């Protein structure tokens, strides 16, 4: 039989940049032209019909809304930083999640947005400018070289969205689902390299002394970049006082059952949820009650 590609038509999602526009005004403006509604799970996220073309829309051009997928919009929401916190975005460019953090913090407190690649750091600066956030410091450098006991020793939360294979999203998705594709085609060496960096970066994040919450996320569907990375740092996480928490408990799809505790992890499926993402949340024991400080 002929191969039938799965239906991956997805709605168009936009996140309202609440630093510039409130959700009701965005609904009103967009509602003049499109069928639009609020997402049932993520605050400030709106859902429009598939293929809605917004790239020249005035609200996009002036940074009032950002076209951003649902799974991608979950990540900063899971970190849930409070206004006034100091937050480190470890691998930031192009900055969609950075400016989401700024909106959640209502522009109060400080975000350090680290990015290794020079050209991508420029794109990050453009995103920050467009968002209107005044509390983001762009740091062009290697997250692994940031001294946890140095000038950023006071950060309360870290968002770690490192380079990954991208196997859960767009371009590679159909390719990866083709039945003829076998594990022989997977570039094991590349995956191993990515996983080694991801583990190092997550262990580094876990070593910041004042951190209460860490989110680790990828747009990959590979166990080696997801559950295996989390599992490998669990002894360190435990000895540093962290435990896994359950982001969006109402979400059905959890981590692959490959270690005890993987039910805390969140996965989205590249076909059924239209993009494949992975999210893990580490919380410092005892910090849950005073998360408002």
Give yes or no for residue 241 binding ligand SAM (CB under 6 A).
no
Closest CA to 95 of 75, 70, 115: 115
Minimal distance, residue 32 CB to ligand SAM, in Å: 29
Give yes or no for residue 69 binding ligand SAM (CB under 6 A).
no
**Distances in Å between the alpha carbon of 47 and those of 7, 22, 50, 250?**
18, 15, 9, 19
Minimal distance, residue 1 CB to ligand SAM, in Å: 37
Minimal distance, residue 109 CB to ligand SAM, in Å: 19
């080694």: which residue's tokens? Answer: 196
Q: Enumerate helices (H) and strands (E) in the chain, giving the number of each.
A: 8, 12
Minimal distance, residue 197 CB to ligand SAM, in Å: 7
Q: Candidates 94, 132, 148, 241: give the one binding ligand SAM (CB under 6 A).
A: 94
**Taking contact as CB under 6 A, which single stretch among the options 58-66, 86-94, 176-184, 240-248 is the one that binds ligand SAM?**
86-94
C-beta of residue 36 within 8 angstroms of C-beta of residue 11: no
Give yes or no for residue 142 binding ligand SAM (CB under 6 A).
yes
Give yes or no for residue 247 binding ligand SAM (CB under 6 A).
no
Give yes or no for residue 105 binding ligand SAM (CB under 6 A).
no
Minimal distance, residue 51 CB to ligand SAM, in Å: 23
Give yes or no for residue 196 binding ligand SAM (CB under 6 A).
no
114 assigned to active site = no
The pair of three-digit structure tokens given for residue 177, joined into one six-digit string: 């689902």
Active-site residue (options: 91, 114, 164, 219)? 219
Minimal distance, residue 291 CB to ligand SAM, in Å: 22
Rounded CA separation 117/54 (Å)? 28
Q: Is the dihedral of CA 203, 205, 211, 213 positive or negative?
A: negative
C-beta of residue 281 within 8 angstroms of C-beta of residue 290: no
DSSP label of 231: H
Q: Which residue is nearest to ligand SAM (CB)?
A: 91
Give yes or no for residue 144 binding ligand SAM (CB under 6 A).
yes
Rounded CA separation 247/264 (Å)? 7
Give yes or no for residue 194 binding ligand SAM (CB under 6 A).
no
Interface positions, 147-186, toward ligand SAM (CB under 6 A): 161-163
CA angle 178–179–185, rounded 5-degree value: 75
Nearer Cβ to ligand SAM (30/76): 76
Rounded CA separation 49/281 (Å)? 31
CA angle 250–285–42, rounded 5-degree value: 30
Rounded CA separation 117/119 (Å)? 6
Give yes or no for residue 11 binding ligand SAM (CB under 6 A).
no
Nearer Cβ to ligand SAM (28/129): 129
Give yes or no for residue 117 binding ligand SAM (CB under 6 A).
yes
Rounded CA separation 14/23 (Å)? 11
Site residues (vs ligand SAM, CB under 6 A): 91-97, 114-117, 120, 142-144, 161-163
What residues act catalytically?
A: 219
């Amino acid at each position: 039989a002929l191969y039938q590609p799965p239906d991956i038509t997805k709605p168009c999602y936009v996140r309202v940049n609440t630093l510039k526009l409130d959700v009701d005004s965005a609904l009103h403006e967009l509602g003049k032209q499109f069928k639009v509604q609020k997402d049932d799970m993520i605050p400030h996220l709106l859902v429009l019909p598939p293929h809605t073309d917004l790239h020249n829309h005035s609200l996009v051009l002036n940074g009032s809304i950002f076209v951003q997928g649902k799974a991608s919009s979950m990540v900063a929401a899971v970190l849930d930083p409070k206004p006034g916190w100091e937050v480190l975005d470890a691998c930031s460019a192009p900055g969609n999640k950075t400016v989401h953090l700024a909106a959640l913090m209502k522009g109060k407190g400080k975000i350090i947005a680290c990015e290794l690649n020079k050209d991508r750091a420029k794109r990050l600066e453009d995103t920050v400018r467009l968002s209107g956030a005044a509390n983001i410091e762009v740091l062009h450098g290697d997250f692994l070289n940031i001294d946890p006991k140095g000038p950023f020793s006071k950060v309360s939360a870290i968002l770690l969205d490192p380079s990954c294979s991208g196997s859960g999203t767009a371009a590679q998705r159909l390719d990866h689902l083709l039945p003829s594709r076998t594990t022989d085609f997977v570039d094991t060496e590349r995956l191993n390299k990515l996983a080694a960096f991801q583990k190092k970066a997550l262990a580094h994040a876990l070593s910041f002394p004042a951190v209460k919450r860490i989110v680790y996320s990828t747009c990959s569907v590979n166990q080696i970049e997801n559950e295996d990375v989390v599992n490998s740092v669990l002894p360190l996480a435990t000895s540093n006082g962290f435990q896994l928490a359950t982001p969006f408990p109402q979400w059905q799809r959890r981590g692959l059952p490959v270690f005890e505790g993987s039910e805390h992890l969140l996965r989205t499926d590249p076909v059924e949820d239209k993009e494949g993402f992975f999210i893990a949340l580490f919380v410092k024991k005892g910090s849950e009650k005073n998360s408002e400080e």
